[in-house]
Amino acid sequence: MDKILKLLEDDATLTAEQLAIMCQKEVGDIKKMIKQYEQEGVILGYKTLIDWDKTDREYVSALIEVKITPQRDRGFDRVAERIYNYPEVQSLYLMSGGYDLAVQIEGKTMKEVAYFVAQKLAPIEDVISTATHFVLRKYKDKGVIYGVVEVDERGNCG
Amino acid sequence: MIDYSSVLSKTVMDLKKSGIRKFFDLLNDKSMKDVVGLTVGQPDFVTPWHIREAGIESLQKGKTYYSPNAGFTELQNEISKYLKRRFDLTYAPEQTIVTVGGSEAIDLAIRAVVEPGDEVIIPTPCFVCYEPIVRMQGGIPVTVETTFEEKFKLTPYALKKAITPKTKMLVLAYPNNPTGAILTREELEELAEILRNTNIVVLSDEIYAELTYGTQHTSIASIDGMWERTILASGFAKAYAMTGWRLGYLAAPAPITEQMLKIHQYAIMCAPTTSQLAAIEALRNGDEDIQMMREEYDRRRHYIYEGLRSIGIDSFEPQGAFYIYPDLRRFGLSSEEFCNRLLYDYRCAIVPGTAFGQGGEGFARISYAYSVKHITEALSRIESFVKSLKK
């Protein structure tokens, strides 16, 4: 069960047929399993890792530390919900330590990101402060190293 | 003018260039850049980071000196513990020698045992080094062909038939490169029955011991009465994806180790220090890495086996190593012609079975130490070729 999840996490392009052969299961069973995972929300989606730096797309991303005042009964959830509903927000985590929420956002330009922080994020009541860190370079994401094209350098020896 | 042919060793000049080398030379040509190969005999994993880090740290700390001849005691201790832990083999640390790859281990074992005129039984198809080393010792290689029909296993019958009063050594290389065959405990028991009351030494090349699928590897040294007549050769290359570190080891009874160590001292002195220090880390904390890699190879094994079958190529289902050895006999081409046409016309490289000695005709070695994506592309090229043959 978990094996299939791990395989798909590493390579979402694997087909049910391929998974079935590799894991010695029936194709029908694999399809059923995947469907169930999708229905239960274990599998939430399939995306592609793209190194935008290699394209001409204008693109910046930033990590924003946000301190907030938790609300009675609802803790951080309501504020979190307000923040994650913005399409610019790529990921949002509740953190232990010196601040409360870590917001990762993407925009076309630094100006756009600054606008988001100043006009949308900071004004939210309960947000006490924000600290924006722009990403200068992405080295690794989701276990994949960026900027390096893997070449099979193994020699034919043994 | 110097006449090289009269200067150079006749024995060495008479050694044939290995078939696999010839094929690999073809592949190294610039015009072969677009070829999708399934030829490489080494893992596609990088050495796990904690092992690489141990090597790096040793360099940072300036550990750039020789080790003791037989290897660092700490490493010998770990090898001894590892052999016990994984294969229930009992070797004292001083009964092991750390070598430059499994290759040196094989070389030392043969050189310590074989004298001119001695016969060495070598089941084929097999890795290419045993026969030439035996020849350089003046020994006589006696090849015993194993067959597809017998799952490429050395049978008791074939062994018995090959033994003569001159037989000095039997080479057992299971899990096998190129066939992926293994020998089970029961099958080893049967061979042991024949060997037990002889003076034949077994050179057990267990470099692929960690890569068996569905069964746990059994070493012939763990069979009753065999420990005393077995030289175990193994290494770190395949289990820990450490091919380039060039590190292997031998384990054998003390009287044999003592003699092998002499050759090692004179020829090599000691294995590379950096590699040895990395290997200590591998043996201490690398069991999980082996498990991860084995599971990945196993999935690819199923994938390539079924993939070949679905395009009409039968294979013996490999049970060890990372090769599959399909049966191409029904296509009516020699192995070499099949592989050459696949290479030149369909841009896919696999190694002709004939490169691995007698019994290789009609077969080819395909390595699955490649990503599924790569294997899929290669399979589609093989399929196009096979379809063109059927027309």
pLDDT for B54-68, tens place per residue? 999 999 999 999 999
CA distance, residue B296 to nearest chain A CA (Å): 9
Whether chain A has a CB inside 8 Å of the CB on B178: the answer is: no
| Dihedral of the alpha carbons of B249, B253, B258, B263, in degrees to the nearest 10 | -40
CB A110 within 8 A of CB A134: yes
Each residue of A63-96: pLDDT tens digit?
A: 999 999 887 777 899 999 999 999 999 999 999 9
What is the CATH T-level fold of the domain B49-286, as seen in this structure? Aspartate Aminotransferase; domain 2 (3.40.640)
pLDDT (0 to 100) of residue B12: 94
Number of A/B CB contacts below 8 angstroms equals 40
| CATH 3.90.1150.10 intervals, chain B | 4-46+288-390
Each residue of B340-391: pLDDT tens digit?
A: 999 999 999 999 999 999 889 999 999 999 999 999 999 999 999 999 997 6
**Interface touch B299/A158, C-beta < 8 Å:** no
CA A109, CA A62: separation in Å to the nearest integer?
11
Is residue A147 scored above 90 in pLDDT?
no
Whether chain B has a CB inside 8 Å of the CB on A50: the answer is: no
pLDDT (0 to 100) of residue A154: 84
**Mean model confidence pLDDT for chain B:** 96
CA B215, CA B224: separation in Å to the nearest integer?
20
Q: Is the peptide bond between B116 and the residue preceding it cis, with omega within 30 degrees of 0?
A: no
pLDDT (0 to 100) of residue B27: 87
CA A110, CA A60: separation in Å to the nearest integer?
7
| Long-range contacts (CB closer than 8 Å, 24 or more residues apart) made by B373-381 | B374/B36, B374/B38, B375/B38, B375/B300, B375/B303, B375/B304, B375/B307, B376/A18, B376/B307, B377/B36, B378/B36, B378/B37, B378/B38, B378/B348, B379/B304, B379/B307, B379/B308, B379/B311, B381/B36, B381/B342, B381/B346, B381/B347, B381/B348
CA distance, residue B56 to nearest chain A CA (Å): 21
Whether chain B has a CB inside 8 Å of the CB on A7: the answer is: yes
Domain B4-46+288-390 CATH assignment equals 2.40.128.690: no
CA B380, CA B348: separation in Å to the nearest integer?
10
Q: Is the peptide bond between B132 and the residue preceding it cis, with omega within 30 degrees of 0?
A: no
Q: Is the peptide bond between B326 and the residue preceding it cis, with omega within 30 degrees of 0?
A: no
pLDDT (0 to 100) of residue B391: 64
**Interface touch A18/B372, C-beta < 8 Å:** yes
pLDDT (0 to 100) of residue B367: 97
| Cβ neighbours, 10 Å, residue B246 | 18
CB A104 within 8 A of CB A124: no
Chain A residue closest to B243 (CA)? A158
Chain A residue closest to B36 (CA)? A152
| Dihedral of the alpha carbons of B21, B23, B28, B34, in degrees to the nearest 10 | -150
Each residue of B332-342: pLDDT tens digit?
A: 999 999 999 99
Whether chain A has a CB inside 8 Å of the CB on B39: the answer is: yes
Domain with residues A52-137, CATH architecture: 2-Layer Sandwich (3.30)
| Sites in chain B below the pLDDT cut of 70 | 391
Name residues 341-360 of chain B within 8 A of A (Cβ). none
Is residue A158 scored above 70 in pLDDT?
no
Can you read off the two tokens belonging to residue B306?
A: 């079924």
CA distances B45 to A99, B42, B286, Å, are: 39, 9, 14
pLDDT (0 to 100) of residue B106: 98
Whether chain A has a CB inside 8 Å of the CB on B24: the answer is: yes
Among A11, A22, A156, the residue with its CB nearest the CB of B27 is: A156
Q: Residue B348 in 3-state DSSP? A: strand
Q: In what order do the strands lie in the sheet with B315-316?
A: B315-316, B323-326, B364-367, B351-352
Does the predicted interface ipTM exceed a cut of 0.85?
no
Name residues 239-268 of chain B within 8 A of A (Cβ). 243
Among A11, A21, A158, the residue with its CB nearest the CB of B303 is: A21
Length, in residues, of chain A: 158
CA distance, residue A47 to nearest chain B CA (Å): 18
Whether chain A has a CB inside 8 Å of the CB on B197: the answer is: no
| CATH 3.40.640.10 intervals, chain B | 49-286
CA distance, residue A104 to nearest chain B CA (Å): 29
The 3 state secondary structure assigned to A83-148 is: HHCCCCEEEEEECCCCCCEEEEEEECCHHHHHHHHHHHHCCCCCEEEEEEEECCCCCEECCEECCC
Among B24, B42, B302, the residue with its CB nearest the CB of A21 is: B302
By the 10 Å C-beta count (0-12 exposed, 13-18 middle, 19+ buried), B219 is classed as buried
Q: Residue B205 in 3-state DSSP? A: strand
Is residue A1 scored above 60 in pLDDT?
no
* Domain ranges within chain A, ordered by starting residue: 2-39, 52-137
